[in-house]
Structure 1
Amino acid sequence: MLPKVNQILHIQVNSIDDEESRIEYKSRIADVTDSSIVIEIPINEQSGRLKKLYYGDELSTFYIEQGGVKHYFTTTVTGFREDVIRLVELHKPEPEAITQVQRRSFLRVPAELEIAVKVSDQIQFIGMTDDVGGGGISVVYDGQIPLGINTTISCWLLVPYKNGNIEHIPFSGEVVRVKKLETGKQLAMVRFVEILDRERQKLIRFCFERQMDFRKR
């Protein structure tokens, strides 16, 4: 489902500046054409400052439909329009490029993905996920590693896509449960504590690809 006029678009700018890329802006959709989504100048609601966008800026965005369904998509700035106020033209995504996710119900799929985990400066290791989702992951690791409930960890997840692209998704998480496996290894269930919306979107897309693979079997 494509966004409509007057809906609020939540925006993050894909920037090499890590601090800038974490800021979320909001904008009202002023018009939707065959090729563009036209928005008002985004605003940072915390500071009240407007965000100046430039041609070619890459944006990670989402809008919320009734029932709390988030619709994620990525886009770029394609131009500007002078009206009563200045407007920004964004590339209109194809409907199939929009990912839909319930706010409190993220899709979770079985997946063995390589993950780098940092517990502290002294404790770092490479593990494999058992499953992944938009709200968290489960990771299998050596049983000798001291990783307890409520431990906060920093992670980098290696995510491959069907088109051959590979993404490295950083996030911080909290261990909510630990289970000993018959192999002697441990399984830690981790919920996301801090993850950029655009990074979560990448993971959600992987989950949808994996789910489609399962359905075809």
Structure 2
Amino acid sequence: MADIYDFIKELAKIDIEIEDKEHNFYSLKSYVKRVEEDRILIDTPSNNGVTYNIPVGQTISLGIHADGGIYLGESKVIDKELSTISGLWICHPYFTQHIQRREYLRVPASLEAELTVFIDRQKTEKKVYNIKTKDISGSGFSYTSNEPLDQYYDIECTIYINDSDNEPVISRCEHVYSKKITYNGEIRYINAFTFVDIKQKDVGRLVKASFKYQVELRKKGFIIIEE
């Protein structure tokens, strides 16, 4: 099975995301200039023609689009190249994952979200629920509640992501099911939804956000179990 290393080759395009010390997020573009046994030289990352000076030691998130999906990984800037082929030396990626577009694997991720449930056709009556997702993917999400979802006419979901876009993901949603479960002796419900009109750009943002959430859990020593 292919992995991210099969696509790290000269001239391969790379999406890069970083978070600076002030917790500002940046989405940048780069490409591979050279691949060595223990390091990779990439072009100085930029956005709309503006290059960014990423310091040595900075952790970065990588994304390579290939094979009908995206390969994700974490890396770190280990040195700067100041010769005629200038750029940044980064270590080979770790915490790698392949997300297939046709599958959009749903993974555990707790993100702040808002569910607006319109009761009538005119959308004059509505209920707003502030929730945290149980899991999420590029195609949908679920959350747990004390009650199943009531009757509705339409649903809009807003998911808040800390990234360089600085805007929430907003989409109409379709209710798939409300499944009854027992948790610590109490009756709960898992409510699942699919996105109806989500933008392709926001699909990529959700995939990356869920990947980052998993990486943070792994760094803290938690084992991620996919249901």
Instruction: Give me the TM-score of the superposition, normalised by structure 2.
Output: 0.63
Residue in 2 aligned with 1:11? 16
- CA spacing shift, 1:36–1:147, aligned 2, 3 Å: farther
Matches within 5 A, 1:127-142: 129=134, 132-141=136-145, 142=147
- CA spacing shift, 1:145–1:126, aligned 2, 3 Å: farther
> CA shift at 1:106, angstroms?
1.3
Residue in 2 aligned with 1:76? 76
| Alpha-carbon contact 2:175-2:194 (below 8 Å) kept | no
Sequence identity of aligned pairs in percent?
Answer: 16
Task: Say whether 1:60 aligns with 2:57.
Answer: no
Alpha-carbon distance in structure 1 between the residues aligned to 2:42 and 2:49:
17
Matches within 5 A, 1:23-172: 23-44=26-47, 47-65=48-66, 67-94=67-94, 97-108=95-106, 116-119=112-115, 123-126=128-131, 129=134, 132-141=136-145, 142-143=147-148, 149-154=154-159, 172=169
> CA shift at 1:201, angstroms?
1.8
> CA shift at 1:186, angstroms?
7.7
> CA shift at 1:172, angstroms?
3.4
Residue segments in structure 1 that go unaligned for 5+ positions in a row: 157-169
Alpha-carbon distance in structure 1 between the residues aligned to 2:207 and 2:40:
20
Alpha-carbon distance in structure 1 between the residues aligned to 2:102 and 2:136:
15
Instruction: Give me the TM-score of the superposition, normalised by structure 1.
Output: 0.66
> CA shift at 1:5, angstroms?
1.7
State the SS of the aligned residue for 2:225: helix
Residue segments in structure 2 that go unaligned for 5+ positions in a row: 117-126, 162-166, 181-187, 218-222
| Alpha-carbon contact 1:60-1:197 (below 8 Å) kept | no
Alpha-carbon distance in structure 1 between the residues aligned to 2:91 and 2:71:
16
| Alpha-carbon contact 1:68-1:103 (below 8 Å) kept | yes
- Deviation string 1:152-200 (CA, Å, 9 cap, x unpaired) is 32358xxxxxxxxxxxxx9635352125647596834043764366423
State the SS of the aligned residue for 1:28: strand
- CA spacing shift, 1:89–1:145, aligned 2, 3 Å: farther
Aligned residues: 187
Give the counterpart letter for 2:193 in structure 1: M
